[in-house]
């Protein structure tokens, strides 16, 4: 961190957000500290929320155009983000392509990050690719599995879209089951209804997801990615 600090915007401190009183050798907050902290928070959001979804908000399009019943359920979840994550409760959004599932799920991740809860966001195909790469070093794999098991919120986008092999099914089961046993939250988006998902990833995994995430929130309708041409 230090060494490349941006200068204090008020020219008071050394850029650290603290001033040191030489006489008593004590630190106190500089006037720039609140904005320094806000910038840090923004950076950590930026690091994890994909650019396309970075500015999602309940009072903004496209959320304002999505089925209110589903948006309300997501809003309630984010309002109690801490107790929900503490209880290992999750959510899942099911439906047709381009109906706002990922957009809504990002609101949950954003709330978790803003509440300073550890959060990992992966699309399922990408997660499998990352796992495959991590396998090449045992340390890398253990680190990744540990992270997947222990983050306060694991957001898996596009479950069911991964190319299935026995290895992939085993990984998905093991990630879900570990979090199930430790009561840690999962947020999922998928194009598959639970019965289709069972065929895709197995009944044992889906059964755990149902218990953790409750009934899927349905988002059906036409693909809004296409709507600008209609
Ligand atoms: N109800 C809506 N009205 C207008 N635009 C919307 C609506 N829902 C989503 N969009 C827009 O459609 C695009 C796709 O949204 P999103 O990525 O959330 O879809 P998705 O449901 O996750 O799709 P997929 O299943 O293909 O992953 C985005 O650009 C989003 O802003
Ligand atoms: Mg999506
Ligand atoms: Zn300062």
For residues 102 and 157, the answer to whether their CB atoms sit within 8 Å is yes
Find all residues with CB under 8 Å of 184, minimum gap 6, and list them. 85, 88, 149, 150, 151, 152, 153, 154
SS (H, E, C) 187-202: EEEECCCHHHHHHHHC
- pTM passes above 0.75: yes
Rounded to 5°, the CA angle 127-226-194 comes to 45
Q: For 45-58, what is the mean pLDDT?
A: 84
Q: Given pLDDT bands bounded at 50, 70 and 90, which one contains residue 140?
A: confident
Instruction: Collect residues with CB below 5 Å from ion ligand 3.
Output: 8, 12-13, 30, 32
Other C-beta atoms lying within 10 Å of the C-beta of residue 96? 14
**Per-residue tokens: 60:** 């903004």
**Per-residue tokens: 191:** 């194009």
Q: How far is the CA of 96 from the centre of ligand 1 (A)?
A: 9
**Per-residue tokens: 211:** 């218990």
Domains, the chain, with CATH or none: 1-48 (no CATH), 49-221 (3.40.50.300)
Q: What is the pLDDT of residue 3?
A: 53
Q: How far apart are CA 161 and CA 97, in angstroms?
A: 12
Instruction: Please say if the pLDDT value at position 227 is more than 80.
Output: no
Instruction: Please say if the pLDDT value at position 176 is more than 90.
Output: yes
Q: What is the pLDDT of residue 130?
A: 87
Find all residues with CB under 8 Å of 177, minimum gap 6, and list them. 204, 205, 208
Q: How far apart are CA 155 and CA 20, in angstroms?
A: 41
As a whole-number percent, the residues of the chain with pLDDT over 70 amount to 93
Mean pLDDT lowest among 38-42, 158-162, 183-187? 38-42
Pocket residue to mutate for ligand 1, from 224, 228, 229, 230, most atoms within 8 A of Cβ: 224
Residue nearest atom 29 in ligand 1 by C-alpha distance: 225
């Amino acid at each position: 961190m230090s060494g490349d600090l941006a200068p204090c915007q008020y020219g008071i401190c050394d850029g650290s957000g603290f001033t040191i009183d030489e006489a008593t050798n004590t630190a106190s907050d500089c006037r720039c500290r609140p904005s320094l902290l806000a910038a840090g928070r923004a950076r950590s959001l930026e690091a994890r929320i994909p650019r396309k979804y970075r500015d999602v908000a309940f009072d903004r399009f496209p959320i304002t155009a999505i089925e209110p019943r589903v948006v309300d359920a997501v809003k309630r979840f984010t309002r109690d983000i801490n107790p929900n994550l503490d209880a290992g409760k999750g959510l899942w959004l099911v439906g047709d392509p381009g109906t706002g599932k990922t957009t809504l799920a990002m609101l949950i991740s954003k709330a978790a990050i803003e509440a300073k809860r550890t959060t990992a966001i992966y699309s399922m195909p990408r997660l499998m690719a990352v796992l495959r790469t991590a396998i090449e070093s045992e340390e890398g794999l253990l680190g990744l599995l540990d992270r997947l098991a222990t983050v306060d919120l694991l957001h898996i986008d596009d479950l069911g879209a991964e190319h299935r092999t026995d290895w992939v099914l085993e990984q998905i089961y093991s990630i879900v089951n570990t979090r199930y046993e430790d009561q840690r939250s999962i947020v999922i988006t998928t194009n598959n209804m639970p019965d289709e998902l069972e065929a895709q990833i197995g009944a044992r995994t889906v059964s755990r997801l149902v218990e953790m995430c409750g009934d899927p929130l349905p988002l059906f309708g036409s693909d809004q990615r296409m709507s600008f041409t209609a």
